Amino acid sequence: MRYYELKQDKKLRNLIEIDGFQGCPNIVLNQNMAEKFNKCTILYVNGTRESQYPDLIQSPALMVSEKIYQVLKYYDTSVMYKIVVLMDRKLKRQEVYRLVLPKEQDVLDNKTTYDHNGLLDRIVISEKTDKKSRIFYVSEGITHHLIVTQDVLESMLALESVGICFKELGEG
């Protein structure tokens, strides 16, 4: 099975800004924290009529658009989600997103490699990993990587998603 790391495309122009979280580091939320969140949360955003709402938002926390959620929930039922409404009061616009709470997997072993910048380059799935998981986090100290399988990525790309970058990490 082939694995890919997903990230928000930081090169998109004219992105919405979430109020109160400018310069905030990514907050990593996992399933152990799910009970601490409301079923639905409103976050206020600032933008213009031309502002883009990417299909994947990494900061302040991992969120996906409703269309990407429809793909993810099909492939891995172990991932938990909470509704987040992004509301632009000035433009009277709102978009529904899902806070993504994937399982954290212990997939790294001594064959996992890193590129010249010290970033995850290739993962080797360890024997302890739940092989049914198609969407999960891999942690490396305080850094978390969102990993998906090839079939999940292909379905997301078929929807002509906006604002998602991916990097192949190899086969497990």
Provide the residue range defining the domain that includes 51.
2-171
DSSP notation for 9-52: -TT-SSB-EETT-TTPPPPP--GGGGGGS-SEEEEEEE--TT-B
- Looking at 85-94, 97-106, 111-120, 145-154, which range is the least confident one? 111-120
Q: Structure pTM?
A: 0.82
| C-beta of residue 5 within 8 angstroms of C-beta of residue 143 | no
Q: Give the confidence band of 59 by pLDDT, cuts at 50, 70, 90.
A: confident
Number of domains the chain is built from:
1
